[in-house]
Structure formats: C-alpha cells, structure tokens
C-alpha cells in the first residue's frame, strides 16, 4: 500500500514507541491521529512534532478498554480526516511483579492489563474494520512482545495478555481478509520508561544474551511497523525485533 496521503490512528501514540511510530508514519507522508489516555501534554507535543514534519495531526483522548470511548475516538478521526487506513494498536499497560509472587498481582491489576492490552485492541479493530472494508483496503498492526511468545517479562498477566494479542492478530487476519491485513511486531527489551525500569543489571544482561550484542532501538521497531503497513502480502504474522534474543 502506498502510504503517502493515508491516515494512521496510533493508540498510545504520544510517548515512547508510539511517538516514534507516529513520526515514522509522518515521514512516509501519512496524516496521524495520536491517541492518548493520560499523557495529554506529551500527546500534544507529539502532534506539534508531526505537524512540523508537514503532515496533519490531531490528539484524541480515549481509554481503549471502553467501547464508547473507542467509538467516539474513531468518529473524531473520521470527522477530521474522512478515512482510516492504518490502525496501530500500540496502547498497553503492565505491573512489575515477579511471576512467583501470585499474591502480588491484584484482581484489579489482572483485569486492567487484559482490558487494555487485549480487549482494547479488539475494540479498536472492531471499530475501524467496517471503514477499511468500505475503503477496500486497510492495515491493522499490533504491538505485542517476545513475552507473548515465551513466558517472561514484567508480570504474569502481562505475558498472558501478549500471548492473547498474538493469537488475536492471527484470528483477525483470518476474519478480515482479503481487504485488511493484520500483523504484529514483538519487540524485546527496548529503551522506554518500562524498559528502563528493569535497571542497568538486567539491561546489560539482555544485551549480552543478544547475538547482535545490542538491544533494538525504537526506530528499529518502527521500521518493522512501516514494512507491515506497506506490505500487500503479509497477514497473520508477528515480526520479532529483539537483537536475536528470542532464538535462545
């Protein structure tokens, strides 16, 4: 798909990886709707950056775990741009609790992680699918994690949610073909606020474990997203971007 002049909706698009993905779309000539839930100032800063790159951009607040807010967000994007060509399901949440500490994860933690990471992606996909079908073409791309491919990561509910998101990617790919492709990226440890929470010891260990002896950059991850947005022949796939650690 030629991306120039197309419209992307990026959930969690105002900070971290979401910001870099939004910027990568803008470099391709795409107009971008930046979704945020709490980080309004950072989302507005991202929008200013994107406009400075010569594209149209707006910030749209919505909690992706709530159906009514997702519908309102999609309606706002359609009223501003008249189309949605790429949905980037990037919003996510977690808690940092060792797997062995079953009591350390509250029921509220579990429900919130599942609601944002899995239900949110489903609600957003469901909201944009009819639009993309009418347009005759669309892309849905999800940010999952290598934690969804092997047990590990910040907490047990997080790894379960990312495994579910990986399977949601495959199921949606079957459900929405042939007009819409659905794919995912699975980053390893990356330089975000979450990534830095691991501390220097664990970060250095991850670098040492990686065959490439480096962690992926946010730009590396965003490049994989752009590849999936362009491709007319990939669907149901998860691209691992982790410096080769997953091979171990």
Q: Calculate ∠ Cα 144-9-243, nearest 5°.
A: 30
Structural contact between residues 117 and 163, judged by C-beta atoms closer than 8 angstroms? no
Crossing angle between the packed helical segments 16-27 and 40-52, to the nearest 10 degrees: 20
Q: How far apart are CA 203 and CA 245, in angstroms?
A: 12
Question: Under a CB-based contact definition with an 8 Å cutoff, are residues 59 and 38 in contact?
Answer: no
Structural domains of the chain ordered from first start? 7-240 (3.40.50.720)
Q: Please check whether residue 156 is in contact with residue 131, taking contact to mean a CB–CB distance below 8 angstroms.
A: no
Closest by alpha carbon to 61, among 36, 29, 28, 95? 36
Residue 182: which of 163, 204, 197, 167 has the closest Cα? 167
Task: Name the band, by pLDDT with cuts 50, 70 and 90, for residue 108.
Answer: very high
User: What is the predicted pLDDT for the residue at 191?
Assistant: 67
What pLDDT is recorded for position 248?
64
Cβ pair 172, 123 in contact under 8 A: no
Distance between CA 12 and CA 62 in Å, rounded? 10
Tell me the average pLDDT of the chain: 93
Mean pLDDT over 139-152 rounds to: 92
CA dist 46 and 154 (Å) reads 27
pLDDT > 70: percent of the chain: 96
Over residues 197-231, the pLDDT tens digits come to 566 777 778 788 878 888 888 999 999 999 999 99
Kindly list the catalytic residues.
158
Other C-beta atoms closer than 10 Å to the C-beta of 189 total: 25
CA distance 163 to 150: 8
Q: Which residues pair with 36 in a beta bridge?
A: 61
Please tell me the distance from the alpha carbon of residue 203 to that of residue 4, in angstroms, as a whole number: 37
pLDDT at 190: 75
Q: Quick one: pLDDT band at residue 194, thresholds 50, 70, 90?
A: low
Q: If you compute the radius of gyration of the chain from its CA atoms, what whole number of angstroms results?
A: 17
Cα–Cα distance measured from residue 22 to residue 10, given in angstroms and rounded to the nearest whole number: 7
pLDDT in tens, 7-53: 999 999 999 999 999 999 999 999 999 999 998 999 999 999 999 99
**Of 211 and 159, the one with more pLDDT:** 159
């Amino acid at each position: 798909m030629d991306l120039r002049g197309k419209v992307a909706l990026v959930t969690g698009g105002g900070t971290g990886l979401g910001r870099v993905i939004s910027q990568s779309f803008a470099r391709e000539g795409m107009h971008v709707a930046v979704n945020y839930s709490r980080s309004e100032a950072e989302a507005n800063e991202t929008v200013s950056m994107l406009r400075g790159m010569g594209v149209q951009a707006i910030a749209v607040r919505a909690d992706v775990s709530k159906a009514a807010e997702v519908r309102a967000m999609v309606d706002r994007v359609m009223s501003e741009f008249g189309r949605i060509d790429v949905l980037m399901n990037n919003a996510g949440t977690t808690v940092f609790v060792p797997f062995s500490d079953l009591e350390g994860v509250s029921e509220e933690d579990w429900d919130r992680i599942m609601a944002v990471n899995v239900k949110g992606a489903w609600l957003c996909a469901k909201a944009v699918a009819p639009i993309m079908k009418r347009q005759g073409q669309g892309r849905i791309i999800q940010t999952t994690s290598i934690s969804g491919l092997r047990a590990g990561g910040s907490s047990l509910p997080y790894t379960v949610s990312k495994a579910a998101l990986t399977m949601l990617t495959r199921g949606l790919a079957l459900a929405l073909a042939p007009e819409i492709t659905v794919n995912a990226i699975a980053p390893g440890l990356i330089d975000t606020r979450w990534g830095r929470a691991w501390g220097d010891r664990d970060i250095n260990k991850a670098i040492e474990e990686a065959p490439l002896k480096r962690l992926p950059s946010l730009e590396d991850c965003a490049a994989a997203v752009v590849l999936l947005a362009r491709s007319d022949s990939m669907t149901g796939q998860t691209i691992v971007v982790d410096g080769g650690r997953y091979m171990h």
